[in-house]
Amino acid sequence: MAIIIDGKQVAADVKARVAKEAERLAELGITPGLAVIIVGDDPASKIYVRNKAKACEEVGFYSEVITKPEKTTQRELLEIIDSLNKRADIDGILVQLPLPKHINEKAVIGAISPKKDVDAFSPFNVGKLMIGDGVFLPCTPAGVMELIKSTGVEVSGKNCVVIGRSNIVGKPMAMLLLQQSGTVTICHSKTENLAEVCSKADILVSAVGRPNFVTADMVKEGAVVIDVGINHNEEGKMCGDVEFDEVEPKAGFITPVPGGVGPMTIAMLMDNTLKAAILNAKSAAKKSGKK
Ligand code: GUN
């Protein structure tokens, strides 16, 4: 029987710490501000954006949701980002993905000032992460690291297997595990003997996006199993990548879906926005000191 990792609780702890810091900043007249841009009508994106704004309210941040129609041009979007880059009351800028097909996602993400890139998706921040200098850590992988920390299991020296190689989760996830001295393998759709590779993992992170993808034969006895998947089964019920009922008795620790990784992504976004506000306040103070 595995210990179920309570993502809601760990996320609440992170948010409580951020809220406390925000209170301290408020005494200095600083309110962290997050702008979230959503283009189009993707229903899942709308829910995520609403939850991000709600979290800002909970921790005492200012938030601004900019909702644009599907037909918005890339140029219009770049203009919005440009004006947000210049605003002193906005510390973090997030463009909800996916964007409509006629907009070049890379161009848009690359236009966000690295100092306000709280998703840590821009090439600058991805590079910083790669060399171990990351200020903003990508929210979902950073949230997974917090969950692993909450188990008390040390990453150092452990076999860590990440299934999935996306820029948002798989690749940065592997990098964070490596930074904590894990022995890291990234698996993907072309991996041979996937089950065998996974079954050697002390820490297994699945970010595939397919229900029931991780079965008991792929899991080592006592492993930490982290399920990043957000899928819906045939009955329309939310589920992860892991065949929970069969894996749970074998694992040492396991995250549920919902209530595992999901709440962490937004909690880490709040943490990044707080960091951005502190850095921006410091750099504003430095500039005014020079005058
Ligand atoms: N779409 C799915 N996940 C994310 C995320 O973490 N950030 C943004 N901006 N869009 C997403």
- Location of structure tokens 């879906």: 257
Contacts of 23 (CB under 8 A, 6+ apart): 60
For 107-125, b where at least 16 C-beta lie within 10 A, e where not — what string? ebbbbbbebbbbbbbbebb
pLDDT tens column, 161-175: 999 999 999 999 999
Task: Dig out the tokens for 134 from the structure.
Answer: 């990351």
Q: How many whole angstroms separate alpha carbon 266 and alpha carbon 15? A: 9
How would you classify the pairing of strands 238-239 and 231-232? antiparallel
pLDDT category of residue 286 using cuts at 50, 70 and 90: confident
Does residue 287 have a pLDDT over 90? no
Cβ–Cβ < 8 Å for 22, 59: yes
Main-chain phi, psi angles of 159, to 5 degrees: -80, 115
Cross-strand bridge partners of residue 214: 242
For ligand 1, say whether the CB of 96 is within 6 Å of any of its atoms.
Answer: yes
CA 213 to chain centre: 21
pLDDT tens column, 40-99: 999 999 999 999 999 999 999 999 999 999 999 999 999 999 999 999 999 999 999 999
For ligand 1, pick from 168, 264, 266 the residue to mutate: most ligand atoms within 8 Å of CB.
168
CATH fold label, 139-261: Rossmann fold (3.40.50)
For ligand 1, say whether the CB of 206 is within 6 Å of any of its atoms.
Answer: no
Dihedral sign computed on CA atoms, order 109, 110, 115, 119 = positive
Domain map (residue ranges) of the chain: 28-114, 139-261
Does residue 291 have a pLDDT over 80? no
For ligand 1, say whether the CB of 272 is within 6 Å of any of its atoms.
Answer: no
Closest C-alpha to ligand 1, atom 9: 96
For ligand 1, say whether the CB of 251 is within 6 Å of any of its atoms.
Answer: no
Residues labelled catalytic:
52, 96, 119
- In order of 192, 202, 207, 250, the CA distances from 183 in angstroms are 19, 10, 18, 22
Closest ligand 1 atom, CA of 269?
6
pLDDT of 289: 80
- Distance (Å) from CA 74 to ligand 1 centroid: 18
For ligand 1, pick from 34, 105, 119 the residue to mutate: most ligand atoms within 8 Å of CB.
119
For ligand 1, say whether the CB of 117 is within 6 Å of any of its atoms.
Answer: no
CATH 3.30.70.600 describes domain 28-114 = no
pLDDT category of residue 115 using cuts at 50, 70 and 90: very high
Cβ–Cβ < 8 Å for 264, 146: yes
Whether 139-261 and 28-114 are alike in CATH topology: the answer is: yes
Task: Dig out the tokens for 45 from the structure.
Answer: 């994106």
Q: How many whole angstroms separate alpha carbon 100 and alpha carbon 72? A: 9
Closest ligand 1 atom, CA of 95?
9
Q: How many whole angstroms separate alpha carbon 199 and alpha carbon 216? A: 9
Q: How many whole angstroms separate alpha carbon 71 and alpha carbon 68? A: 8
